[in-house]
Amino acid sequence: MAVADALLHDRNVVAAFKDWGRRYPDSGWGGRFAKWLFSDETRPYGSYGNGAAMRVSPAALLADSLEEALQLAEKVTAVTYDHPEGLRGAAATATAIFLAREGEEATTIRKRIEQDFGYELAATPADIRPHYNFNETCQGTVPEAIVCALAASDFEDAVREAVSLGGDADTLGAITGAIAEARFGVPREIGIQTWNRLPGDMREVLEQLLYAVKGGNLPFV
């Protein structure tokens, strides 16, 4: 929500993060992010945590080109996750989302991510699942999430595969879900159920984001 708010309204990214984070203080923030969030610090702290990829989707949704998607991804990532691995994870996720928006096939997206970011995406979710452990890094989360999104047959299948890996399941689901939404769309029933659980300030930003991306097609409102 903070990333979408910052990009939609040309807000300072740090100010948007601190505003939204402090509205919802008991939200399971990662330790280093929480320390930054509730301090007066505005500088990044060298993180390569997977939150970089989990929050980047609005950059890809609002961009008019892959180049712009990557620029926006770096803009909203580098304020906290300025380690090369954090930046790589966000950029790879934004690339996958943007290419999926453009209608590229899973094989094309997979090859592009492997080529541009060096992630190994040959495994299947079934290959990953037996050996996967909790991992909060981009390099230990983003490839697995992309695999789930590209192997799936629909949105729900993608999210179920991601969560089934275990580990940092909410983050895996968020990254995979963002790519899967761009590939398949969100089923109306799931969208409505989710919309009904959101507080008003989040609905307002999401409605603006959906309007900007879909041109007024707001199936959940």
- For residue 216, name the pLDDT band (cuts at 50, 70, 90): low
Q: Find tokens 């109306």 and name the residue.
A: 188
Tokens of 125: 């979710």
- For residue 218, name the pLDDT band (cuts at 50, 70, 90): low
Q: What residue segments make up the domains of the chain, in order of their start?
A: 2-214
Assess whether pLDDT exceeds 80 at residue 144: yes
Assess whether pLDDT exceeds 60 at residue 221: no
Question: What is the CATH code for 2-214?
Answer: 1.10.4080.10
Given a contact cutoff of 8 angstroms between Cβ atoms, the answer to whether 167 and 86 are in contact is: no
pLDDT digits (tens, 9 = 90+) for 106-133: 999 999 999 999 999 999 999 999 999 9
b/e per residue 141-151 (b: at least 16 CB within 10 A): bbbbbbbbbbb
Closest CA to 18 of 6, 10, 8: 6
Share of the chain above pLDDT 90, in %: 93
Given a contact cutoff of 8 angstroms between Cβ atoms, the answer to whether 172 and 93 are in contact is: no
Predicted pLDDT of residue 13: 98
Which amino acid, 135? N
Given a contact cutoff of 8 angstroms between Cβ atoms, the answer to whether 8 and 208 are in contact is: yes
d(CA 34, CA 16): 14
**Mean pLDDT value of segment 41-56:** 97
d(CA 92, CA 70): 9
d(CA 174, CA 163): 10
Assess whether pLDDT exceeds 80 at residue 149: yes
- Phi first, then psi: give them for residue 124, nearest 5 degrees: -105, 165
d(CA 181, CA 157): 11
